[in-house]
Each structure stands twice: as C-alpha cells, then as structure tokens.
Chain A
Amino acid sequence: MQAIDFQTEPSRYRHWRIVCDGDVATLIMDVDPAGGLSGDYELKLNSYDLAVDIELNDAVQRLRFEHPEVRCVVIKSGKDNVFCAGANIRMLGKSKHGAKVNFCKFTNETRLAIEDASANSRQIYMCAVNGSCAGGGYELALATDYIMLVDDRRSTVSLPETPLLGVLPGTGGITRVTDKRKVRRDRADFFCSTEEGIRGAKAVEWRLVDETVPPSKWDDAVTVRARDLATRSDRPATAKGIALTPLQREFTESGVSYAHVSVEIDRDRAVATLTVRGPSEPSPASVEAAHALGAAFWPLAMARELEDAILHLRSNEPAIGLLLLRTEGDAQAVLDHDALLIKGESDWLMREIRHYLKRVLKRLDLTAKTLFALIEPGSCFAGTLAELAFAADRSFMLIGTREGDNRAPAAMILSEANFGLYPMGNGLTRLQSRFLGEPDSVEKARASIGQNLDGDAAVDLGLVTFGYEDFDWDDELRVMTEERVSHSPDSLTGMEANLRFAGPETMETKIFGRLTAWQNWIFQRPNAVGEQGALKLYGSGVKASFDKERV
C-alpha cells in the first residue's frame, strides 16, 4: 500500500486555489479528475477523495497562520454549474472499510477545523454554492457560517446518500442539519431522503441555506456578503503571517523522526512509542520574539510534528494497536512556553497556536489506538504536555528513580493550560472529563499548579492510573501491554471511543459518536457493501437489492 502523506503546500495543490484579496480569501475547489489518491476512479464533478481533503486541510491551516489579514474565507467551485458532488462514490465503493473510516474521520476533522476557524480564529467561512451541491458538497457548505445558493432554478442542495447510496451523509451532514441549522426534524427527514434536493426560496425557508441570489447578481452579492462578514472579525489588519515551512522528517522501516517528535515501531508487539521532546531552547523573552521564530517556535513546531505523526500512524500503520506516549526534556521550558501562550492572549499568533494545539490533542482523542502514557524520570509531562497523559486511556508513573539512573524522580507539573486551554470535543477539559463524578478533584488539581508532583502525589490526586516502583515497572508494563494487544481491536476501538468522552454531548461528539458510529455500521452491512449492496452497485446501473429486515 502506498503511504499517505498529509503534508502539502499550495504550489503542489491539484484541486484547490487560494486567492487572497485584502481581508477576503477565496478558496476555489476545482478538482482534477485524474488527481485522486488512486487511479481506480475519476474525480468527476468536483467529487473528492482523501487527496482533495488533504489539500483543503492544508489550505485552512495556512490561511490561519500565513494570512492574519484574512478575515473572511469564501469557499466556491471553479467549475460551471457544479459546486461539489461530494465524496467520490467509486472511491468509497472500492475502499476497504478501514480506509473509508479514516477518510471520514479526517474529512470530519477538516470540517470542524473550518468551524473552529470561524468561531475562534475569527476567520469567518462562508460558502458560495454556485451550482449543484450534493452530499459531501453540502456537508462542506454546512461547515461554514453562511451559505449562499445561486438561484438559477436548477441548482439544489441535497443529501442524497440514503436514497441513492444506501449510506449516510457521514461528514456531519445529518448532525449539522438538525443541530447547527436547526432544520425541523420532519423537514430534515424529507430533505435527507430526497435525492434531487431542494432549491431556491424553499431552501431558505427550511434554513438549509441562508440566502439565494440570481446568477446576474451573484458575484456582487458574494463580494458584499464576504466584506460584511469580514467586518465581524477581530483579526489584525497589518500583522505579518508566518510561513509554515516544510516539516523535516525521516521515515524508516521502524518509524519516523522529527525535530521534536519521534515514533518507534515494534512490529512484533504491534506497539509504537511516540516520544515528544520538550523545547531545546529557552522560551523566547516576548510574544514578539516568538513571532520572529515563526514555524520554529517550539509549541507550533511540536504541534505540527505531532499532528503529522498521529495522521501517519492512523492511516499508514493500522496494525499498530497500542501507542505508548512518552515525553523527554525540561519541564520548566515547557511551562515557560505555556506562559507565553497564555500571556499573549490577545495576540493573533498565540491564539492560533493555542487552538491548533487544541485540535491536535483532539486528533489524539479520536485516534483508534490504545493510548498508554509513560511518565518516567527525564520526562516533561508539564502543562500542555501533561494533556498527553490525560488524553491517554491509562497512565503509568514511575515512583522514585530507576536503578543506575541519577536523574531526578519523575514529576508531573500542572499549569493554567490544563484548565481551559484545550477543551475536548465534549466541551470539557480533559481533567473535567476525567473527574466528572468528583468535581472537587479538579479544584484540588488546580491548587497544585506549578508544583512538582511525584508519583505518589500524582496517584493521590488521581492524575495518573498507576504508580510503580522500579522493581515492578518493567514487568507490569510488559504484562499490561501484552494483555492489551491480545484483545479484539474492534472491541477496543469501540470501548475506548466510549470511555474517552464522558459527560455532555456536543455537535462534535454527536458527529463522531453517533453519526460516525452508525455510518461505520452501515458501511459494514450487506445492504451497502454486499455484492448486491447500494454502495457496491452504484454507478453500474444495477439497482441494489436489500435485505428488508430492520435491525
């Protein structure tokens, strides 16, 4: 299998163009039919596969960091009469289950990143639907804050997955129709089962779009609306963006290494060790100095590398079921960087980095691998990096020192960053989710901010799962690891995905927990993927035959 690379940059795009004009950027979707990840299918009518979404993800990310002056982003199609036909069906039909799931997860994360940009980076997205807009095309539009639809008496928005393909609009479509656009449920029922979709005044009345405009007034109306949305942003007009320079990576048979992150794979045990290294330089003295470092500023550099490593492991190392999370380095340096991120509250770049770290940690929460954190001497689970331990399914901390190691005992240190900077998809911090039944424990933990918490203290505060002394450490870990990888990977994925998200539901948790789970069930069912299934037969002209039994 060809490895999937999640890194790209605009000069390599085949499917998107970014056009910046003052405070408005236009993101033009013009998919190259021959530019899919595999040559097995043609990306007709602006349909997309992972290759297209990798570019979109990159574009959304670059617009935030490289273009602080951009306050509104307009997504539109570069093709006549078609906005986007959604995910490529032949691609889905030919993909293995795991590839479909990873594709949906990544595209969902990208759409959430668009919403995060509108809400938190104040780079407000709108969608100019200049042609027919079906399935994933409409789901992309739904991720923006404002949807304009051309009223040429033929362009519609639709979610035709159920009537045409026997699956669901799996990129948040159903969830956003009811929870974001707040379309009445009976209308939503009609809309989601009508293949031709809805156009014009009815689409506005049903809140499926915000506005319709005739073609002769289209360009002007889009410009006016974009300028208006731009006025609602607080992004700085004159700041200089920072270039997201290419990541320095080295892939080997046994892993990947970056400047601050490395992955070592033990294929025999189906285990990978992901190590995040703390800053090698002291924190810059000021926010301005951090700007000058640009992409080399440690929190940003580390976040980019960690994100790439997570995406790589998800897509290219499906057989590795257990991820051991480690850190190395100077805890104080991590805390100093945290302080800068927090101090620069009103600085656009510090804000971007905080939200980016939030998104990267969310990717970890959504990774279908067991996460065990190992807190050992020499580690730096402090502030931002302590979130890795809280994201883990279990954490293990060494009490005292290891024989022959003269380093100080392992310590965990909390900072303000652990109390609100990085909410999970459920809207709570990892500590709030952890202590859902004991809110006092959150307060106790907060009272310990800045303290060096050794193994016993961390166990007492409930911040780690188990503390082991040197003589138990190796054996306990070995047994725990061997036992874990012996379980059914499907069951583990399901179990972890449930246990990680205690507490309230949000649109985001519904997308991953409800919509995605149902979709992944449907993706396995003969009615979709059997020889006579709708997804399998789509495009052949032969109609699916369904097992009519409701389950």
Chain B
Amino acid sequence: MSIAQVDYNGLIPNNVGLGDDVRVKRALEKWHPGYINWWKDMGPDGFQESMVYLRTAVSVDSKGWAVFDYVRMPEYRWGILLAPAAEGRTIPFGAHAGEPAWQEVPGEYRAMLRRMIVIQGDTEPASVEQQRHLGKTAPSLYDMRNLFQVNVEEGRHLWAMVYLLHKYFGNDGRDEAEGLLQRRSGDADQPRMLGAFNEATPDWLSFFMFTFFVDRDGKMQLEAQAQSGFDPLSRTCRFMLTEEAHHMFVGETGIGRTVQRTCEAMVKAGIDDPSNIEAVRKLGVIDLPTIQKKLNLHYSLALDLFGSEVSTNAANVFNAGLKGRFQEHRLQDDHKLENATYPVLKLVGGEIKRVDEPALTALNMRLRDDYTNDCSKGVARWNKIIEATGIKFTLTLPHVAFHRHIGEFRNTQASPSGELLDAAAWEKKKDNWLPSSADGDFITGLMQPVVEPGKFASWIAPPKVGIDNKPGDFEYVKIA
C-alpha cells in the first residue's frame, strides 16, 4: 500500500487528530514503512500470514478499546490513543506541583523527558524481538494467540512513544524514532538500551516469567509516568496501562496453569514430595523447584531494571515533575519530598541494613518496593493453586540482594534468603537457586508445539475461560 494513500483516521485508529496534523503526518509517512519492515523482519517468525484472533483498540471508550476479530499481524491497525484529557489537570508532584500540567514540552526539561520516552520506547519493540521464535513451540493456539496479542500491543506501545517523539521533539524526536527501529535485541552492534531486553526468551516458561516480572516493571514505569506533569505522556501511559494489564494476565495465568498442571500430575501419580524432581519430570511436567529457580532468575533480572537504589536521575525526573511515584495521587504527603527520607537496603560493614536516605534520591527503591509488593500478590495466588491440590510447596520471591547486577548488591553474592556468601559458597550453591543448563535442556525438551484447537501441551493446564468468552476448542489462530 502506498503511504500517500493512507487514510490516517481509518488505518491508524487515533484520537489525536492525526489527519490534520501536518508535522506528525509527515514524520509518520517516513517512519511507517520502516516500522512495517521491522515488523516483518523482527516480528513473530513464521506466522505473518496467519489469521490471528486479536483485540484491536480503535477508540478509548468502552465500546472501542477491545474490538476482536481475525487479522494478519502485518495488517494489524496499530493506533495512537491517549486517555481522555482531564479538565484543569495540574502537575501532581515535584517543584512545579500545583501548576497547570504542561501541554507542550517545557524547554528546560526537554533532554530529560526525551530520554525517558526513548528508554520506554526502546523496551517495546525489544520484547517483540526477544519473543519472535516462540510461536513455533506454543503449547496451544490459545497461548499462541496471547503471545501475538502481547506482541502487537508492544508494537502499539512503540507507536505511542513514537507519536510523542514526532509530535513534541522535532528533528531530534524523528532521529530517535528512527533509532528505535534500528536497535535490535541482543545485537552486538546496536543492542537495545536496557540489559534485560538483550537476553533471549528461549522458552514458554521464560515468556510467562517475562510477562509476569519484566512487563510488571513496565507497568510500574508506566504507572509512574502516568503521573507525569507532561500531560500527553500521562494520557498515553494511562491508556497503555489498560493493555499492559493483559500482559500481566498472560504471565500470571501462564505460570498458574503450569503450576496447576504439575501439581495435578503429581497428585495423580501419587508423588507428594516436590523435591523428587526426576519422578516429577517423568510425568512430562515442570517440577516446582525448577519453577522456583526460574522465578528467582526473572525476579532478580527485573529488579535490576529499576536501576540503582539511590539515584540522582530518579530524583531529577521527580523534582522536574516528569515521573511520579506509584499511585502518587493516593499518597498523603507534600508530593515534593525535599526534606523526607526513605529507608533503603544497603550493604553496611558487610551486613544488609536499612538506611534512611533522602526520599528524592531513593525513588527507584520506593518504586521497586511497590513492585515487590505487587509481585508478591501474584505469587500468593500461585501458592493458593498449589495448596488446593494438597502439595506441600511454597513459591517465594528471593531476597533483593540475590543475584543482582545493578545497584547496592551488584558486587556481592547472597542466597535467596538474603544470607551473604563468599564467591566459593556462591559457586557451589548457585545451581540450586538458578536454572542450570540441564534444567534449560529439560524445559526445551518439553516445548513441543500443539496446534490442534482445544488441545494443550503436557506441561500446562487449559485456562478457565477463553479469550472474548470463546469456547475451549476455538481456533484462535488459523495457521497459514
């Protein structure tokens, strides 16, 4: 399709008056073909021609935000949708708290704001790239469709960030938008900006863990940016959060169903000792200790995404009114934090201690604490599933000092319970806590594709209800 004929209001669902915005339209004319090429090169491998039962947001009202239909992914209608403007919105926090929210970029914060948007934008296509081979080993059409839904929505989130860059950052913004298509997850020359987004997602358990833990970091970042005094960013993020919730759902239920299948198989086989790994694995399911190890790995990698516990950068963006705290509007304080403190876990004289730090510089720690709290609710729900089957096993989040590469604990080793270890002790025990290559081989061996409608791979239970209330044998993907 020639871009000159693009009917912007039709092809690109939007509520930003795209058709009348010459500047953004010109920028998108250049960027759009590059995006489609990127999707074809780096999007789901082998399924570009398949018809997928996807949800598309065509507007932000209750009728339009979830329209289901079959679509070929390259023809998906990626939209630009902002949550409705709140009349008279003011900047909720920082040095400018109480002033009218910015509708244009404040010059003094241009660089800071642009960097925030670029980093957020860079994670969106990165996860699509990381997950592009997973379609071939999907445990069911239901799961395959969920994967693709997550993928196209990450694509839409990229659009959302590119819109902000095109609309508000001129030439620099256009350059950065181009850069978002040029970097590649795991590429030696042009890697994605954040470490966790350059790691492969090798199997479906990793995918579920990723959507539960890493996408939840994304959710926390969006929550913080949804508070932004820069209103277009706030409105964009608020709408993105409705989609991000689906990604959390995919992760949480994916692991929940895996755990459920394992426990049910153990009960059926009369195995009540979860540590009898060999016997459990023979049942064609993933043993609970290995699930715990995967959890340990992904949780610790996700914690790294929050950056250093004490961070000047975090302080600057808060003070500037660009990025707030989780649910800032519910917090009862002065929203400026100039004299407040916040307890931060630190390594003091070889011990892990809580130390009060200026609250402004401890904002990463605070958001991470909110994140941990959010994660623990999901873990509790998995434990309920295990408990219901009568198996004695509890999944837990490891200590924040465990297996860290960024922040206060990056140069030390600790056990999942937070006991500090020397290098030798760590080497000896780490395979008990993190997936070994043998564990990886076992999981890879289980990843056999199941493409018959209504059927599921041996290691995962079916969902309780279908997407869009479809019946169990619904053909979510018509494989071409």
List the interface of chain A (C-beta within 8 A of B): 151-154, 163, 194-196, 214-216, 538-543
Contacts and interface: CB of A to CB of B under 8 A. Distances in A.
Contacts of A153: 179, 182-183, 190
B459 to A, nearest CB: 36
Contacts, number: 52
B316 A152 contact: no
Contacts of B312: 538-541
B315 A216 contact: no
B314 A541 contact: yes
B162 to A, nearest CB: 16
Interface in B309-359: 312, 314-316, 318-320, 337-338, 358
A483 B189 CA distance: 66
B6 interface: no
A193 to B, nearest CB: 10
Given A153-B182, A194-B111, A196-B111, A541 B190 contact: no
Contact of A541 (B183, B191, B315): B315
A151 B111 contact: no
A163 B115 CA distance: 15
Nearest to A151: B189
A194 B110 CA distance: 10
A151 B179 CA distance: 12
B360 interface: yes
A521 B114 CA distance: 33
A543 B189 contact: no
Interface residues on B, range: 20 to 34
Interface string B286-326: 00000000000000000000000000101110111000000
B95 interface: yes
Contact of B115 (A152, A196, A215): A196
A541 B189 contact: no
Contacts of A151: 189
B22 interface: no
A541 B179 contact: no
A163 B182 CA distance: 29
14 contacts: A151-B189, A152-B191, A153-B182, A195-B111, A196-B114, A540-B315, A540-B361, A541-B315, A541-B358, A541-B363, A542-B95, A543-B95, A543-B319, A543-B320
B193 interface: yes
Given A194-B111, A196-B111, A539 B315 contact: yes
Given A153-B182, A194-B111, A195-B111, A541 B188 contact: no
Nearest to B359: A541
B138 to A, nearest CB: 32
Contacts of B191: 152, 215
Nearest to B411: A33
Nearest to A213: B189
Contacts of B190: 152-153, 214
A337 B383 CA distance: 85
Contacts of A196: 111, 114-115
Given A153-B179, A538-B312, A541-B361, A215 B318 contact: no
B188 A216 contact: yes
Given A539-B312, A542-B360, 20 more contacts: A151-B189, A152-B191, A153-B179, A153-B182, A214-B188, A214-B190, A538-B312, A540-B358, A540-B361, A541-B312, A541-B315, A541-B316, A541-B318, A541-B358, A542-B95, A542-B315, A542-B319, A543-B95, A543-B316, A543-B320
A154 B118 CA distance: 11
B361 A539 contact: yes
Contacts of A538: 312
A410 B423 CA distance: 68
Interface string B192-203: 010000000000
- Those 7 A-B pairs whose CB atoms lie nearest each other, nearest first: A541-B315, A541-B360, A214-B189, A216-B188, A539-B312, A541-B319, A153-B190
A215 B337 CA distance: 41
Interface in B97-128: 111, 114-115
Contacts of A539: 312, 315, 361
A215 B312 CA distance: 29
**Most A Cβ at <10 Å: residue of B189, B316, B320:** B189
Contacts of B363: 541
Nearest to B115: A196
A279 B338 CA distance: 63
A464 B187 CA distance: 68
Contact of A163 (B111, B320, B338, B361): B111
A540 B189 CA distance: 35
A194 B337 CA distance: 28
Contact of A152 (B95, B189, B319, B358): B189
A215 B360 contact: no
A215 B188 contact: yes
A222 to B, nearest CB: 15
A49 to B, nearest CB: 17
Contact of B193 (A154, A214, A216): A154
A162 to B, nearest CB: 12
A542 B111 contact: no
B356 to A, nearest CB: 15
B187 to A, nearest CB: 9
B228 to A, nearest CB: 16
Contact of B338 (A154, A195, A215, A542): A542
